[in-house]
Amino acid sequence: MKAQEGKPIIAHGGASFARGLFARGLVDQYDLLVHPVALGKGLPVFSDLAMPRPLKLMNSKAFPGGSVAKIYRPT
pLDDT in tens, 43-75: 788 888 888 889 999 999 999 999 999 999 999
Indicate whether 17 belongs to any domain.
Answer: no
73 found inside a domain: yes
Q: Could you report the per-residue pLDDT of 2-15, keeping only the tens digit for each?
A: 678 888 888 878 88
Model pTM? 0.78
pLDDT band at 26 (very low <50, low <70, confident <90, very high): confident
Q: What is the C-alpha separation between 31 and 71, in angstroms, rounded?
A: 5
14 in a structural domain? no
Domains in the chain, number = 1
Give Cα separations from 31 to 14, 40, 64, 68, 74 (angstroms).
Answer: 15, 22, 19, 11, 12
Containing domain of residue 64, as a range?
A: 28-39+49-75
